[in-house]
Amino acid sequence: MAESKAQRIATVVINETVSEKLAGNNIGYYDLYKIEKNNDGQISAVVSNVIKMNQIKSEITSAIQNKISDIDVQQIGIPLGNLSNNYLLAGRGPKIPIKLMIVGIIEMNFKNSFISAGINQTKHEIVLEAKATITAILPAGRKTAEVYTTIPVAETIIVGNVPNTYTNIEGVPYSPQNNILNKTP
């Protein structure tokens, strides 16, 4: 029960803090990445703003750490039947109040993915992955839990040139013997 409570608190703190920081700083795709084009106007590179990304990651991580540190001692009630290790008594009986203190370590990383979105389109998606190692300190010991969450930060569709030809054959295994492109009717 302590582990579940700690995970729930950490998840709420992470999601709220990331949302507040991203909205408060009005962070968008072009704050994090720049699309460069060559002289012909074709896309030649997608360049990340590493300094800005590290700044955002640092601010969010510090804010989450501070919020977790500011959480007062929590109190949970464990039904007496849960302490008996008997499934028939689980959830039954008076609740025994137990004080719970939560401490944690937060790790944040930006992750990118480029996903095909059509013949000449690619979706560039940026997410912030958060991993929190939360420890619930109880009078009888401690319980550690990990929380993983991903928060979308920005995405864009990068449009390239339309190719002159396009072939998409799915479900036909290629081998020199059954190469349908080389067979004559």
List, in sequence order, every residue forming a beta bridge with 40; answer none if it has no partner. Answer: none
Residues 6+ apart with CB under 8 A from 29: 124, 126, 154, 155, 156
Output the six-digit token pair for 23.
């909205």
Output the six-digit token pair for 76.
Answer: 């949970």
Lowest mean pLDDT among 24-38, 120-134, 149-163: 149-163
The packing angle between helices 50-70 and 2-24, to 10°, is 140
User: Residue 165: its pLDDT value, please?
Assistant: 62
Residue 108: Cβ within 10 Å count? 19
List CB contacts of 21: < 8 A, sequence separation 6 or more: 27, 56, 59, 60, 63
Alpha-carbon gap, residue 114 to 126, rounded angstroms: 9
CA–CA separation, 49 vs 68, rounded Å? 29
**pLDDT at residue 111 above 90?**
yes
How much of the chain is helix, strand and coil, in % rounded to 5?
Answer: 30, 40, 30
Split at pLDDT 50, 70, 90, the class of 95 is confident
DSSP secondary structure code for residue 136 in this structure? E
Q: Is the pLDDT of residue 180 over 80?
A: no
Average pLDDT in the chain: 81
Residues 45-60 have pLDDT tens digits of: 889 999 999 999 999 9
pLDDT at 185: 46
Cα separation, 144 vs 72, whole angstroms:
18
pLDDT value at 127 more than 70: yes
Q: What span, in angstroms and rounded, lies between the C-alpha atoms of 35 and 31?
A: 11
Q: What is the mean pLDDT of residues 139-157?
A: 84
**Under a CB-based contact definition with an 8 Å cutoff, are residues 17 and 64 in contact?**
yes
Residue of 44 and 98 predicted with greater confidence: 44
> Average pLDDT for residues 78-93, to the nearest whole number?
79
For residue 179, what pLDDT is reported? 46
Mean pLDDT lowest among 45-54, 78-87, 144-153, 167-176? 167-176
- Averaged pLDDT, 147-153: 88
What would the two tokens of residue 37 be? 């084009």
